[in-house]
Amino acid sequence: MNTLATNSDATLTDSPAGGYQPRMLQIRGRIGRLRYIAYSLSLTLLFFSMAFLTIEVIPRFTEDALLRQIFSIAMLFSTIVMGLMAAVLTIRRLNDLNATGWAVIVALVPMINLIFTLFLVFGPGSKGENRYGRPPVPNGRNVHLALTSMILFSLLMFALFGMYGSAA
């Protein structure tokens, strides 16, 4: 009866704790709240770092229009890739909540997406195995350290953008 969960777990890294060890770039599996926040912050910081580089830094060092276009195209491509990665992370978080991944479409609806995000961040995952597989192993020190460093790095990026950003 639970063949879907068993088959989807075949590619996941087993852990002696009974769950599995999730990885950021996995397509299948479940992720808990802290990992979801840490992974999402990583993608967001990567996006804003590239945007800052493309919008603020490159134009200050070169007048070459071709180089600016190359960076703009690279920014567009990376935005698409990061958007797909964010969708996969959201689907994995929904799977931890025992909800279908198709609910990710709700994230595209203005104003409702705010409530949806709060649900993803604060909703407790399913205890034990659900129809999407085994639960991830409990968060270790590395997950907490990654989340803390992502928050501190976020504050640093906002401070730098405030100091070096455009004075419109």
- For residue 111, give its domain range: 25-164
Whether the per-residue pLDDT at 106 is higher than 80: the answer is yes
Residue 122 inside a domain? The answer is yes
- Say if 20 falls within a structural domain: no
User: 3-class DSSP state for residue 13?
Assistant: strand
Q: Is residue 4 part of a domain?
A: no
Q: Which of 30-34, 90-94, 98-102, 156-160 has the lowest mean pLDDT?
A: 156-160
- The full DSSP string for 63-80 is --HHHHHHHHHHHHHHHH
Number of structural domains found in the chain: 1
As to burial, measured by CB atoms within 10 angstroms (0-12 exposed, 13-18 middle, 19+ buried), residue 96 is buried
52 pLDDT above the threshold of 60: yes
Which range is least confidently modeled, 78-82, 123-127, 135-139? 135-139
Q: How far apart are CA 160 and CA 24, in angstroms?
A: 27
Closest CA to 87 of 112, 115, 73, 106: 106
Confirm whether 43 is domain-assigned.
yes
Mean pLDDT of the region 46-60: 81
Q: How confident is the model at residue 2 (pLDDT cuts 50, 70, 90)?
A: very low
pLDDT tens readout for residues 6-40 = 334 434 455 545 567 777 778 888 999 989 998 88
Instruction: Please indicate, yes or no, if residue 89 is contained in any of the structural domains.
Output: yes
